[in-house]
Structure 1
Amino acid sequence: MKIESLTIKNYRVFQHVQLKHMPGLCVFVGANGSGKSTLFDFFGFLKDALTGNVRQALQKRGGFKEVVTRGHTDQPIKFSLQFRMEISGVERLVTYLLEICLKNNRPVITREVLRYKRGSYGSPYHFLDFRNGSGYAILNEEDFNKKDSELDREEQTLDSPDILAVKGLGQFQRFKAANGFRQLIENWHVSDFHINEARPSMDAGYAEHLSSRGDNTALVAQYLYEQHPDIFAQVLEKMKQRVPGVKDVKAVETDDGRIVLKFQDGSFKDPFIARYVSDGTIKMFAYLLLLHDPSPHPLLCVEEPENQLYPSLMPELAEEFRGYAESGGQVMVSSHSPDMLNSIHLDEIFWLRKKDGVTTIERAADNTLLASLIKGGDLPGALWKQGLFEGVDPR
């Protein structure tokens, strides 16, 4: 399932932004404070709202009045996502709408809709439609032999108007679109990687997927080594190619029952424990574990992957991101690196411009000047460095 389009209204600096025809790999550029982190936080917000509820997700970010665009506290926060998923053997474009208002000083979901077209013609049908905690879901949405008027509705009242309807209904396979969308959100990976958390040893355990903060790096390495040795061999080979001196990496269990990462340098007899190797080495190893996950995340958000990494590694990392997207996972990256951008297609680049406290997002390929220069042989990173992405130069 891939996100095709995204609309955000009144969420922090995004008074109204709309992204259409989103590719598998999206790279976002912009000056510091322009909203790149806020864009990724939008995905984190939806995941937090699904895990708990909308009130808790907002409170984690300071509350409704801190999240809503300044000067628009009397207006709703609105989201719209379009994504493709297979239903009854046909890939369909599904739309999810969410509207949140503040009522009696409490956030309330005033509208939540999940819809898609049942056939080639006509308007999208609402298979889930809730207002203020009450609404309906269609029980037999895959019965395409029936007319819209013949579908069976199940009326529902949620425990609270700040709970997402897809949270409850998405548990059941009979609500196909709701179930698919819930799985989509649950498996998003919004990276908040911290080098220092990837270094320490961990209690012996089990982890298939790298956590958002990277604090289970050693456990994931152990899992891949034991359960997917062919994939771990690929990771190790790429480490040898990209980090000078690295000969081997092992997740080793200590006498006191903890797991530590040990890096073998070809120049030394004894391996180094993770705390003694460079930030770049740890980060590259964690990224390779993430990007070679046997079960790719449907969405992977990574902020400024160039930090702590040598510039010459950016083209290879860009290709790793693209390969991940081609294998079934969508990738969104924010970056300031010209070396990264030089390996990205112009239609994969979006740039953010902030003016008077409000941010807009534009696709680089839609800019006539940039498209013309790229056609003439220039590279995106060089144009970025020259300040030709209008409105992003902090000077």
Structure 2
Amino acid sequence: MALSAISIQGYRSVRQLYLPVEPVSVFVGANGVGKTNLYKALSLLQGAANGTLTRAIAQEGGINSVLWAGKRGSSPRLVLQADLDDVGGGIEDGMRLRYAVEIGLRYCTEAAFTLEPLIKEERLTARIRGREVAMMERKNATIAIRNAQGRREMIEDDILSSETALSAIRDGGRYPELDAVRRELLGWRLYHDFRTDDASPLRQPCFAITTPTLSSDGHDLAAVLATLSMIREDTVELDAAIEDAFPGAKLHARDEGSRCQFNLRFPDVPRPFGAHELSDGTLKYLCLLGALMGYRLPPLIALNEPEASLHPSLLPPLARLIGRAARKSRIWIVTHSEAFAGALQEETGKKARRVIKRDGATEIEGLKLTGEFRDEDD
């Protein structure tokens, strides 16, 4: 399965965007134009799958803080949508699924807190051999869903208005399409930033557990690197990536009792440097390496300004890491660095899409309402 497009409507500075998602999607722009809102929309979509969507909105300041900041209609809503192609997985090869969720304010008759963000509508549709089929439809508390035999059912479970049906309905055998979307979104990894302060968990040993994919906060970096070294027992690509970024350096990752740890030996220093001694930029680069070279890559890797705190010499090696990872995973990058965007274009052939703000609304230069870019037409 592959994420092919997302739609964002009524979220902070985003009035309405329908964005195609390519193997490598790069968005570049100045501070304050709304680049991070594109990244956060992915996080909210994932929150619909893991049951944290309304809590995440509350943590952002509440429903009034996340709704479109411009002139609003009488009933403002935040609408998020994900298109997923080539579902397969025993469902039906070539199926396209579209999941959408709408969040809004409480009606005066609803049993909820005054400014609580509530799920107003959810929809899951499938495009099968050119025909659109409604697999799940929700309006407030009423939920209808099509089961594996194709019969329409009404869900009687007590699903709260603060809960998504996507997260609450867990019978994968009975509702395989809904389960497929949930598992896909839960598999995404969004890397906003990595803590590199002295107390950061990255600088501490972690549990010695085979770890194929780096967690979103990177706390299991040592286990990810040790899994590549000791479980896969093939470090050719890992060693080459370290050489590319830090010529002459050698990375050693291993388990010691119940914990994993790693160190980096530089050619001009007689002893290795442990994680607690590495510079912030070096440690962050190793986190990015772990995210992009894990034993098993997630279906989507989103990076928010990954170039921050990195030396300019590390941008071309990072672009090469991303190019290799894009063979197995969708990569979504938000950056304000023109140099990094240029390195990515040289490595992947994909030029960055420029994020701008026009009349207070975040837009993408050249993007049409249909989700196509004008330069692609040319």
Give the aligned residue type for 2:51. Answer: G
SS at match of 1:223: helix
Q: Which has the higher contact order (CA 8 A, sep 6+)?
A: 2
Distance apart, 1:252 and its partner CA: 5.4
Closer, same or farther: CA 134–366 of 1 in aligned 2, 3 Å: closer
Q: Contact 1:79–1:98 (CA<8 Å) still a contact in 2? A: yes
Indicate the residue corresponding to 2:120 in structure 1.
110
Indicate the residue corresponding to 1:168 in structure 2.
168
Indicate the residue corresponding to 2:289 in structure 1.
288
Closer, same or farther: CA 203–277 of 1 in aligned 2, 3 Å: closer
Query: Does 2:10 match 1:10?
Result: yes
Indicate the residue corresponding to 1:130 in structure 2.
138
Distance apart, 1:171 and its partner CA: 4.3
CA distance in 1, matches of 2:314, 2:39: 24
Q: Contact 1:53–1:162 (CA<8 Å) still a contact in 2? A: no
CA distance in 2, matches of 1:353, 1:171: 43
Matches within 5 A, 1:254-293: 259-293=260-294
Matches within 5 A, 1:133-282: 133-140=141-148, 151-157=150-156, 158-192=158-192, 193-196=194-197, 197=200, 199-206=202-209, 207-230=211-234, 232-251=235-254, 253=256, 259-282=260-283
CA distance in 2, matches of 1:80, 1:310: 36
Q: Residue deviations 1:162-203, cap 9 Å, x none?
A: 211111335413322211110111111110222333642135
Distance apart, 1:348 and its partner CA: 4.6
CA distance in 1, matches of 2:26, 2:358: 21
Matches within 5 A, 1:3-42: 3-20=3-20, 22-42=21-41
Q: Contact 1:107–1:162 (CA<8 Å) still a contact in 2? A: yes
CA distance in 2, matches of 1:198, 1:251: 17
Give the aligned residue type for 1:227. Answer: I
Closer, same or farther: CA 238–117 of 1 in aligned 2, 3 Å: closer
Please report the RMSD computed on the Cα atoms of aligned residues, expressed in angstroms: 2.6
Give the aligned residue type for 1:137. Answer: I
CA distance in 2, matches of 1:19, 1:366: 10
Closer, same or farther: CA 319–271 of 1 in aligned 2, 3 Å: closer
Q: Contact 1:248–1:265 (CA<8 Å) still a contact in 2? A: no
CA distance in 2, matches of 1:291, 1:351: 24
Q: Contact 1:198–1:282 (CA<8 Å) still a contact in 2? A: no
Give the aligned residue type for 1:126. Answer: A
Q: Residue deviations 1:133-190, cap 9 Å, x none?
A: 221111125xxxxxxxxx3122104420221111133541332221111011111111
Q: Contact 1:303–1:333 (CA<8 Å) still a contact in 2? A: yes
Closer, same or farther: CA 293–250 of 1 in aligned 2, 3 Å: closer
Give the aligned residue type for 2:278. Answer: V
Distance apart, 1:214 and its partner CA: 1.7
Indicate the residue corresponding to 2:362 in structure 1.
359
Give the aligned residue type for 1:235. Answer: L
Closer, same or farther: CA 270–324 of 1 in aligned 2, 3 Å: same
TM-score (norm 1): 0.81
Structure 2: gaps of 5 or more residues: 109-113
Distance apart, 1:366 and its partner CA: 3.8
CA distance in 1, matches of 2:259, 2:72: 51
Indicate the residue corresponding to 2:111 in structure 1.
none
SS at match of 2:79: strand
Identity across aligned pairs (percent)? 23
Distance apart, 1:75 and its partner CA: 0.9
Give the aligned residue type for 2:221. Answer: T
SS at match of 1:90: coil
Distance apart, 1:12 and its partner CA: 0.9
Give the aligned residue type for 2:219. Answer: D
Q: Residue deviations 1:289-343, cap 9 Å, x none?
A: 211122211111101222233334323322322322222x110011233332224
Closer, same or farther: CA 177–44 of 1 in aligned 2, 3 Å: same
Residue from 343, 350, 353 that aligns with 2:353: 350
